[in-house]
Structure 1
Amino acid sequence: MSGVVHVSAAVVVGDDGRALVVRKRGAHVFQQPGGKPDPGEDALAAVVREVAEETGIIADPGAFEPLGRFSDTAANEPDHRVVADAFRLRVPAGSASAGAEIEELRWLTEAEIDAAPLAPLSRNHLIRFAWR
């Protein structure tokens, strides 16, 4: 691995029990909404901003529950690892719309995750928090 990418990511869960995943433009796999913090921005501020930009969901920072820091192979940056500060956010079902660089979004049930094309960080670490 030649590099590390730091991001903030959100496990967004609808009140119907489905988890929101997004596919960025040019990507082949889905992942949790989120992205890289701007200079001087902390992890929570970054996830609040990224969720709003990518999904249109405007949420109070206090609504984000910290889940921890997780690392895996980066899905969209060859030879990199991604290190994510992750948060869970519960929202009304269907409250998202694709924005920013998002090509597609999906609400997944727990039964659908095995067949879904998910990024390693999502599949191996984050998505399970939707149903805990």
Structure 2
Amino acid sequence: MPKILTIAAMRLLDPAGRILLVRKRETTMFMQPGGKLEPDESPEAAVLREVREEIGLVFAPEQVEFLGRWDGPAANEADTEIHAYLYGATTTDAPCIQAEIEQMMWLSPAVAMERDDIAPLLRDHVLPSLLGG
């Protein structure tokens, strides 16, 4: 039986509709900014905290929209299933690499779906829904 990991992530778009993807230190897959919930922390509070810590952007709760919850295999942890609460926002502010983030990039969702270094949950579930598929 797989381990269950509950996370909150941000589908962050720029005005051109590109999605921000990050790669954490000592990992190979790109994913959305976000991370594990702290004990007694709501998914919304977790995503706001993680985005601030990882890429230096601050959002008020009313600036983010709950997009849904997706489940799928973890990209970087064997025998682990992710339960991901996904929030969305658009920004004109420039993110900066902080905390455990090693690399980031803005890509169109269609281009991101074609890459083999995108986390499976993002590539197979979140991006298709973003593209209306």
Q: Structure 2 length normalisation: TM-score?
A: 0.91
For the pair 1:19 / 2:7, whether they are aligned, the reply is no
Which segments of 5 or more consecutive residues in structure 1 lack a partner in the other structure?
A: none
Given that residues 11 and 129 in structure 1 are in contact (C-alpha distance below 8 angstroms), is that contact kept between their aligned partners in structure 2?
no
Partners of 2:24 and 2:40 in 1: CA distance: 24
Contact 2:110/2:131, CA 8 A, preserved across alignment: no
What is the CA-CA distance between 1:17 and the residue it aligns to? 1.4
Measured after TM superposition, the shift of residue 127 of structure 1 is: 2.8
CA contact (8 A) 1:12 1:130 kept: no
Total equivalences in the alignment: 131
Superposition RMSD on alpha carbons, in Å? 1.5
1:100 is matched with which residue?
Answer: 99
Using the alignment, how far apart are the partners of 1:128 and 1:121 within structure 2?
10
Tell me how far apart the structure 2 counterparts of residues 116 and 74 of structure 1 sit (CA, whole Å).
15
Alpha-carbon offset, residue 128 of structure 1: 4.0
In structure 2, the residue matched to 1:119 is 119
SS of structure 2 residue aligned to 1:46: helix
Consecutive unaligned residues in structure 2, runs of 5 or more? none
What is the alpha-carbon distance in structure 1 between the residues aligned to residue 52 and residue 128 of structure 2? Answer: 22
Amino acid at match of 2:14: G
| Alignment of structure 1 residues 1-132 onto 2, 5 Å | 1-92=1-92, 95-113=94-112, 114-115=114-115, 117-128=117-128, 130=130
Question: Which whole-Å deviations, capped at 9, do the CAs of 1:18-70 have from their partners, x for residues lacking one?
Answer: 10000000110100110011111100000000011111111111111111110
In 2: Cα distance, 1:87 partner to 1:46 partner: 11
Superposed CA deviations along residues 61-90 of structure 1, whole A, max 9, x for unmatched, are: 111111111000001111110000111111
Shift in Å, 1:116: 5.3
Question: Is the alpha carbon distance of 1:15 and 1:85 closer, same or farther for their aligned partners in structure 2, counting shifts above 3 Å?
Answer: same
Q: TM-score, normalised by structure 1?
A: 0.92
- Identical counterparts, % of pairs: 37
Alpha carbons of structure 1 residues 105 and 116: separation in structure 2 relative to 1, 3 Å: farther
- Asked if the contact 1:37/1:46 (under 8 Å) is kept, the reply is yes
